[in-house]
Amino acid sequence: MSVVHRASASREQITSRSGLIGYISAVIAVLVKDSRCELRSKQSISAVLLFAVTSTVAVSFTLGAQGQSSAIASTLLWVVIYFSAMAGLSRSFVHEVETYTAPLLKLAAKPNSVYLGKLAFNFLTLIALDIVTVPLFIILMGCGISKPGLFIALLLLGSLALSAGATMAAAMVSRASSKGALFAAISFPLLVPALGLAISGTNIAMGGDAVLTAANCLHLLAYYCGVVITASLMLFRFVWED
Amino acid sequence: MGRLKTKDKTSAIMPLPLQIFIGLEIAAVIVAAFLYVPPARGFADKESARIIIFHVPCAMIATLAYAISTIYAIAYLIRGNTASDMKSAASASLGFLFTALATVTGMIFAKMEWGMAWNWDPREVSILMLMIVYAAYFALRGSILNSAARAKISSVYNIMAGLLMPFFIFVLPRLVPGLHPSNTLTSRSGLSPEYRIALGGAMLGYMMLYIWILRLSVRISEHAMLRRRKSIER
């Protein structure tokens, strides 16, 4: 009982602060809580990084110098990022359900701050993944980046898009009975437009050519992020609350 | 939770005269497709072009069924009545059926016309994505045991998928070059009058068939739910 009291007290503490500042501080509180749990257990980051490094090594070991084509390299890069994300991002909500902490979190914070906090956490996980995988991928595959600025912008926007869709999918899957396989199955349809755009933009950044221009890819990715995040903010409470 | 209206057995799913009309209408469309419509000009195989009388309405009804499914998902989240969720699920499964029919008829025509059953043409990409999206929808529905949670979460997924439709229909296809004609249905010179009549007839018949099957499957899931409730009471 006392834990519930403390949780509702902390909700009052957070929500008592005025409007936007209270909202942002709730989001940051969720992010800090998740990061602290992650730094203690290292569950999702180790799964994600290990998967990413293993698949990058496997891909480059098998393809070797044949992976020089920018179309193949850009596709493989995003396939590695996508499946590594699938290995770890569902933890954010599944963990709450497995350890029975979800009811407390529901008491302690409003649904939208939970969504934004988890989104920020998943985004940071993907950035950590990018920092490790992408240089390794470029070195092992020996592919040149002709437009570094575009490449980095695509990685950032693409990671944001992946984490936006995957956070929502993770929240849905956490209520289902078969979590692991279902997460990849329902994330893929939500994420495939972002993946397609990121791949064709990366292809351009690596010196290939595509039907869309680089600016098209960036605009559409930003549009995708806007649509998914706005829709998630409107719909998240239906998934999160009983 | 909204209570189910228990309809008496006499209330018909579809009035009998309309049932007979649908049967005759679709039979007439099938006969017209083979006998009334002339062989098409400008195709590699002129006779095989008759398949578009079945193919195009299937694709249109599929899109319509998915749109209706999303509208009922929104209605469910606003009102929380079980009937909307049943209609949403039933419409999605009908959309899946019509998508499958459109894909199969399209593949037969593509094999005749372009030489290969699958060409990664833009519309083939979008219809494949639609099928994957809704296959995942059924997988999601199947794996949530609590019926209230299932209704809520699958409605949310349905709305998210509906919002991403513009990407599937307009953006993804632009990533590959295309083979489908883009403005045949809307331009004046595109279709001969016989084709126009046959296509319109097929559209009407399929639409009524869709409404009929939708009502039937909603009735079936209502009965299943009532039976479950009775067995719990017992």
3-state secondary structure chain B: CECCCCCCCCCCCCCHHHHHHHHHHHHHHHHHHHHHCCCCCCCCCCHHHHHHHHHHHHHHHHHHHHHHHHHHHHHHHHHCEHHHHHHHHHHHHHHHHHHHHHHHHHHHHHHHHCCCCCCCCHHHHHHHHHHHHHHHHHHHHHHCCCHHHHHHHHHHHHHHHHHHHHHHHHHHHHHCCCCCCCCCCCCCCCCCHHHHHHHHHHHHHHHHHHHHHHHHHHHHHHHHHHHHHHHHHC
Most confident of A80-94, A115-129, B177-191: A115-129
Residue A61 pLDDT exceeds 90:
no
Per-residue pLDDT band for A129 (boundaries 50, 70, 90) equals very high
Residue B186 pLDDT exceeds 60:
no
Q: Tell me the two tokens of residue B36.
A: 């009334």
Element (H, E) at A174: none
Where is pLDDT greater, at B185 or B230?
A: B230
Nearest CA in chain A to B178: A211
The whole-number pLDDT of residue B10 equals: 42
Residue A98 pLDDT exceeds 80:
yes
pLDDT (mean) for A75-86: 91
- DSSP letter (8 states) at residue A110: -
Size of interface A-B (CB pairs under 8 A): 85
The whole-number pLDDT of residue A1 equals: 42
> Which of the residues B1, B143, B146, B154 would you substitute to probe the A interface, choosing the one with the greatest number of A C-beta atoms within 10 Å?
B143
**What are the backbone angles phi and psi of residue B81, rounded to the nearest 5°?**
-100, 135
Q: Is the separation of the CB atoms in A166 and A89 below 8 Å?
A: yes
pLDDT digits (tens, 9 = 90+) for A160-212: 999 999 999 999 998 888 777 889 889 998 999 899 899 999 999 988 877 77
Nearest CA in chain B to A169: B157
Give Cβ neighbours of residue B234 (< 8 Å, ≥ 6 apart): none
The whole-number pLDDT of residue A218 equals: 93
Most confident of A1-15, A49-63, B5-19: A49-63
- DSSP letter (8 states) at residue A207: T
pLDDT digits (tens, 9 = 90+) for B92-134: 999 999 999 999 999 998 888 888 888 888 778 888 888 999 9
Question: Rounded to whole angstroms, how far apart are CA atoms B71 and B88?
Answer: 8
The whole-number pLDDT of residue A88 equals: 83
Q: Is the separation of the CB atoms in A30 and A102 below 8 Å?
A: no
Question: Rounded to whole angstroms, how far apart are CA atoms B91 and B213?
Answer: 9
Residue where the block lists tokens 């980046």: A145
Per-residue pLDDT band for B78 (boundaries 50, 70, 90) equals very high
Find the length of chain A.
242
Question: Rounded to whole angstroms, how far apart are CA atoms A211 and B172?
Answer: 11
pTM: 0.86
Minimal Cβ distance to B136: which of A189, A210, A211: A189
Beta bridge partners of B2: B81
The whole-number pLDDT of residue B178 equals: 59
Q: Is the separation of the CB atoms in A134 and A155 below 8 Å?
A: yes
Minimal Cβ distance to A175: which of B132, B144, B163: B144
B232 interface with A at CB cutoff 8 Å:
no
- DSSP letter (8 states) at residue A67: G
Residue A3 pLDDT exceeds 90:
no
Provide the ipTM. 0.85
Range in A80-94, A112-126, B104-118, B181-195 with the lowest mean pLDDT: B181-195
Question: Where does residue B133 fall: left (phi above 0), alpha (psi -120 to 50 degrees), or beta otherwise?
Answer: alpha
Residues of A with CB under 8 A from a CB of B: 168, 172, 175-178, 182, 185-186, 188-190, 192-193, 196-197, 200, 210-212, 220, 224, 227-228, 231-232, 235, 238-239, 242
Residue B48 amino acid letter: S
Q: Is the separation of the CB atoms in B28 and B204 below 8 Å?
A: no
Tell me the residues of chain B between 40 and 59 that have a Cβ less than 8 Å away from chain A: none
Per-residue pLDDT band for A42 (boundaries 50, 70, 90) equals confident
* Chain A contact set for B139 (CB, 8 A): 182, 185-186
B157 interface with A at CB cutoff 8 Å:
yes
Question: Rounded to whole angstroms, how far apart are CA atoms B14 and B211?
Answer: 9
Q: Tell me the two tokens of residue A152.
A: 């980095």
Question: Rounded to whole angstroms, how far apart are CA atoms A226 and B180?
Answer: 31
For chain A, percent of residues with pLDDT exceeding 70: 91
* Summary mean pLDDT of chain A: 86
The whole-number pLDDT of residue A44 equals: 80
Question: Rounded to whole angstroms, how far apart are CA atoms A190 and B157?
Answer: 9
B149 interface with A at CB cutoff 8 Å:
yes
pLDDT (mean) for A67-75: 81
- Listed residue (B57, B87, B54) closest to B72, CA to CA: B87
B131 interface with A at CB cutoff 8 Å:
no
**B177:A186 CB<8 A:** no
Where is pLDDT greater, at A14 or B28?
A: B28
Range in A65-69, A104-108, A220-224 with the lowest mean pLDDT: A65-69
Residue where the block lists tokens 């569950």: A43
Most confident of A67-71, A80-84, B4-8: A80-84
**B139:A186 CB<8 A:** yes
Per-residue pLDDT band for A216 (boundaries 50, 70, 90) equals confident
Where is pLDDT greater, at A118 or A91?
A: A118
Where is pLDDT greater, at A2 or A73?
A: A73
